[in-house]
Chain A
Amino acid sequence: MTQDAAGASKFSRRVAIAGTQHLGGAIHLLRVRFPEIAASALPGQFVEVKASEGSDPLLPRPFSVNQVDAHRQTFAFLYEALGCSTRQMAQKAAGDELLVTGPLGKPYPLEPDVCDEVVFVAGGLGIASFLFAAQTLKERGDPRPVRLLYGARSAESIVLTGEFERLGVRCEVATDDGSLGEKGLVTGLLERYLASDPRNPALYVCGPAPMLKAAAGIAEARGARCFLSLETYMGCGMGVCVGCTIKMKTGDGPDDFEYQRACVDGPVVDAARLIW
C-alpha cells in the first residue's frame, strides 16, 4: 500500500449556484462554480450536495456529475425534485449556496481496451451521468461508436437527448406510455440491440434497481460486459462510515463474498461480481 502524502484530491466547501434550468416534469439542471471538481471529475463520479443549512435533512445527497463546461470552471448535475433535499434545491436560484464535496467514487471504465462499442443504458434519472461520459469520449477523440438506450415514464421525463445527438451518440428511446419513442421498457431496447449481434459491446447501465437487475441478467445471458452504476443509500459518500455496503463476489463458493463500500468501490461495479 502506498504511503501517499497528504494532498487534496477531494474538495468540500460552500459554493454559489451559477445557474439553474428546468428541463421538464420535476427535472432540473443545477450548475455550480467549483473549478477543482470541474477539472478533476471523471464520468461516473458523483458529488455530495447539502442544500439545507440546518439538519432537515441532515446528510448531503449523492448526485452524478452531468456535465462540465469547456473551461472546466463549473459543473452541473441533474435532479428530480421529489424528495426532501431535491425540493429544497428547486427553491434555489443563481447566487444561493450549496455545500458540495467531490469528486467521489469510481468512474466508468471507458478505456478503449474495454470494448469496441460503448452502450449507455439509462432508466429515468439514470441518464444523469452519461452526458459527461459522452462528452469525455468525444474530447478524447475516441473513434468507437456510442449508443444510448434510454427509457422513462413519459416524454416529459426524457431529457438532454439533443445534447447526446450533437455529440454523435445514436439514441433510442422508449417510454412506458409510448408518448415518445417506442412504447415499453428500456430493457426491450437492450434485448433487441444485443440480438443484433453487435461486435464486442460493453453496457454501462444506470437507473432504478429493478432495471439494473434486469439489464444485468440480459447482459449475462448474451455474454456482454456490463457495468452498473448503483444508487445505494449513502451516509458519508466518501468511504468512512461503511454504511453503503454492497455484497461482492470474491470467488464461486456461497461464502466467497465481501462487503464493499458502494461509494468508493462503486458506484460503478462489474455486474458479474455483484450479489443482489
Chain B
Amino acid sequence: MTAGRVDLTTRIGRLTLSNPVMTASGTFAFGREFAELYDLSLLGAIVVKGTSLEPRRGNPPPRIFETASGMLNAIGLQNDGVRSFLDEKLPFLRQFDTRVIVNIVGNRAGEYAELARILHDAQGVDALEINISCPNVEHGHAEFAGDPSATFTVVDAVRKATSKPILPKLSPNVTDIRVFARACEEAGADAVSLINTLVGTAIDIRTRRFRLANVTGGLSGPCIKPVALRMVYQTAQAVRIPVVGIGGIVTAEDAVEFLLAGATAVQVGTGNFVNPMAAPEIVEGIKGYLAERGLNSPSDIIGKVEKAI
C-alpha cells in the first residue's frame, strides 16, 4: 500500500485544509461533544452551528423525526448568539489544528454584514459560511434563498464587511440552483456550499398530527444524496469557484462520489449522528481510495466523473 504518498491537502480558494472533510453546520455543535470522542485535528474543517447576532431560543419540540433513510429537523436555529460564540466556544476550538468556519444567519442583509464585521476581527475564525437557506425560520428561506437578487445582496453585503473567505450555503428548494450559485460568484464568494436540507413533513396517522411542532422541517441524510449529488454536479459545471458538497454523506464512498461529481471538499452532516466516528473514518477512506489507485491527491478525482455510455 502506498498510502503514505497520498497528500489530502485541499484548497478552497484562499482557504487551505489538511483534508477535504468538514463537519456540517448544526450537526457538530461547536465541537466540544465530539472532542470527547476523537481529536478534532483530524478534520479538514469544522463548520459550527448557525450563529446569529442575538441568542435564539429555537422552535418548540418535537423538533426531529426519523424518516426512511433520513430525518426531518426543525430546530429553529437555537443558538446563544455571536458574543457567546466568541467568548465561550471559539477559545475551545482554537486548541485544535483544524479550520473553523462560522455559519452565520440573520434576518436582513445588514445583520449578516454586522456578523461578518464582528467575526472579521476574531482570531481563529478561518472563513464564514453564509446560511441563507435555513428552511426552519420565518425569514430564512423566502427572502434570501428563494430570490437570486436577494442572495446577491446578502453575499455582497458580507463581502464588503470582511476579507475572510466566504462560502454562501445554497438551498435546494429552488427551481435552478445554478442561478443562485452564479449570483454568489458575482458577489465575490470564494466558494459555494450545497446543499442545505429539503423542506418536508411527516404525519402520525394514529393521532392525525404532524410529527414536528413546526409542521415542516428540513430533510437530511442518505435519502437526499442523489439530489445533492445532481446539484453539485450541475453547479460545478456552472461556476468557476469551488463547490463544497453536502447531503447524505455517511461513508468514504459517498464522499468520493461528491468529489467525482465536482466537489472540491465535502461536509458530513447527519452522518455524524449515524456513526459518530464517520468524519475521521471518511478521511481515512478517501486516503485509501486514492492510494489503491496510485493517486496522490483528491484533486486527481475532482470532477472526473464520466458518462455511463
Which residues of A are interface residues toward B (Cβ below 8 A)?
1, 3, 5-13, 48, 50, 55-60, 99, 101, 233, 235-247, 258-259, 264
Contact = CB atoms under 8 A, between A and B. Distances in A.
Given A58-B222, A241-B73, A246-B61, A6 B35 contact: yes
Given A55-B69, A235-B71, A243 B63 contact: yes
A40 B212 CA distance: 35
Given A57-B66, A245-B61, A259 B78 contact: yes
B210 interface: no
A259 B76 CA distance: 12
B276 A241 contact: no
A60 B71 CA distance: 12
Contact of B63 (A3, A60, A245, A258): A245
Given A56-B68, A238-B276, A245-B63, A10 B37 contact: yes
A242 B29 CA distance: 9
A233 B221 contact: no
Given A6-B96, A99-B275, A245-B58, A58 B71 contact: yes
22 contacts: A3-B91, A5-B95, A6-B39, A8-B38, A9-B36, A10-B36, A56-B68, A58-B66, A58-B221, A59-B66, A59-B71, A235-B73, A237-B273, A238-B33, A240-B29, A240-B272, A241-B75, A241-B273, A242-B58, A242-B63, A244-B61, A259-B78
A8 B58 contact: no
Contacts of B27: 236, 240-241
Contacts of A58: 66, 69-71, 221-222, 270, 274
A259 B95 CA distance: 29
Contacts, number: 110
Contacts of A247: 60-61
Nearest to A258: B57
A259 B275 CA distance: 26
A240 B273 CA distance: 9
B301 to A, nearest CB: 25
Interface in B50-76: 57-58, 60-66, 68-71, 73, 75
A6 B95 contact: yes
Given A5-B95, A236-B272, A241-B75, 20 more contacts: A6-B95, A8-B36, A12-B37, A48-B276, A233-B62, A233-B65, A235-B64, A235-B71, A235-B73, A238-B33, A238-B276, A240-B27, A240-B273, A241-B64, A241-B73, A242-B75, A243-B73, A247-B60, A258-B57, A264-B33
